[in-house]
Structure 1
Amino acid sequence: MVEGKKRGRKPKESLDRIKREPLEIVDENCEPLGVLSRGEVHARGLSHKAVHIFIFNSKGEIYLQKRNLDREEHPGLWSSSASGHLSPGEPLLLAAQRELKEELKLKVKLDEAFKVKPCAETNWECTTLFVGNTDKLPKPNPSEISEGKFFSISELERLIAESPEIFSPTFIYLWRIYKEYLAQE
């Protein structure tokens, strides 16, 4: 298991900066409508763009991160390998690569798997899932991640069945769609 230090952001300064971060709001088809602050987008439950990344190793295990307790969304829960919002006008692949580097210090070839429209399960995010493979050991960013671990698929399935509350709802939703996506390939 890879563990990060229990160190968070600079309390007020960073939270204020994050709430002011510009996000592109989108319609139900993920078409841009304008730009608002992250704080306003989340407070009003407006749809916006995000990327999630699933990283697998050569054993077929998936790397998950446990979100820090000070995270705005799903604190203390296991979630996708990496994820994040897009800056206005930012290409999807560049956003995924940026998040992977920021959160896990990894540079990995990523392939787009699928997109999902905004819904309650994704916190109204128009989400694009990217998938990558590496045997490099991720180095979790301690300001965002409390720990990280590779899970075998059987272990992950067992944990989701027995303790779904330890996972972010977005991860469970994307994982189910990903399994359907693989079955169709």
Structure 2
Amino acid sequence: MVDRDDRVTGQAPRGEVYARGLLHRCVFVQVRDELGRVFVHRRTGSKLVFPSHYDMFVGGVLGAGEDYPGAALREAEEELGVSGLEQPAPLFKFLYEGPGGSWWSYVHEVRCALPVAPQESEVDWHAWLAPGELERRVADGTWPWVPDGLEAYRRLRAFREGGDRPAAPRV
């Protein structure tokens, strides 16, 4: 658990964190293949938060004592089912406040040329989508997207376009 300045204040089991709406830390990693396509997946129906929703990031909640870089690599390798992935590059951090709760969200990116075997307990379906196709899927509204991922996606687009650049994040 953390405060609004992202300072650690304690720890609690994940279920309690979500049930009580406690502020915590998450990582988001946008994964691209060697052709620049984005890894997109549908979360399993058994997920605690946003079950059966689509996401254009892999990631998750930091464990007690874990830092953002370590969590980004761990989560990316776990969800993609790979090992030996390069360390994801940190981009920016923001406080997500919306459906599902509130959490500090540190956005990263990484290239993956390895064959993926997504974790069945996390991922029901996956594909590599060209950026234009991803943009069309987001815009047409036919897929239910995780709201925190949509917010991270919006901010990432602005970041890449040189607009709304977040302040330099603290690790």
TM bin (shorter chain): 0.7 to 0.9
1:170 maps onto 2:148 in alignment:
yes
Map 1:122-133 onto structure 2 (within 5 A): 123-133=101-111
TM-score, normalization by structure 2: 0.87
1:127 partner SS: strand
8 Å contact kept, 2:69–2:87 = no
8 Å contact kept, 1:47–1:118 = no
How many residue pairs are counted as aligned between the two chains? 161
Q: Which residue of 1 aligns with 2:112?
A: 134
1:30 maps onto 2:15 in alignment:
no
Map 1:52-91 onto structure 2 (within 5 A): 52-91=28-67
Identity of aligned residues (%): 24
8 Å contact kept, 2:59–2:75 = yes
Q: Which residue of 1 aligns with 2:157?
A: 179
Residue identity in the other structure for 2:38? I
8 Å contact kept, 1:52–1:84 = yes
Instruction: List gaps (5 residues or longer) in structure 1.
Output: 1-24
8 Å contact kept, 2:42–2:53 = yes
8 Å contact kept, 2:43–2:55 = yes
Structure 1 residue 90: Cα displacement: 0.7
* Cα offsets for 1:108-167 (capped at 9, x unmatched): 331001101241257311111110012223210111110111111111111111116521
8 Å contact kept, 2:96–2:148 = no
Structure 1 residue 58: Cα displacement: 2.5
Bigger CA drift: 100-109 or 167-176? 100-109
8 Å contact kept, 2:98–2:147 = no
1:173 partner SS: helix
Structure with greater helix percent: 1
When residues 101 and 44 of structure 1 are mapped into structure 2, their CA distance, relative to the original with a 3 A threshold, is same
RMSD over aligned CA atoms reads 1.7
Q: Which residue of 1 aligns with 2:73?
A: 97
When residues 167 and 118 of structure 1 are mapped into structure 2, their CA distance, relative to the original with a 3 A threshold, is closer
TM-score, normalization by structure 1: 0.81
Distance 1:79 1:55 in 2: 11
Instruction: List gaps (5 residues or longer) in structure 2.
Output: 166-171
Q: Deviating runs (4+, > 3 A) in structure 1? A: none
Residue identity in the other structure for 1:167? W
Residue identity in the other structure for 1:74? F
Distance 1:116 1:130 in 2: 12
Residue identity in the other structure for 2:29? I
Distance 2:100 2:30 in 1: 15
Q: Which residue of 2 aligns with 1:146?
A: 124
8 Å contact kept, 1:28–1:118 = no
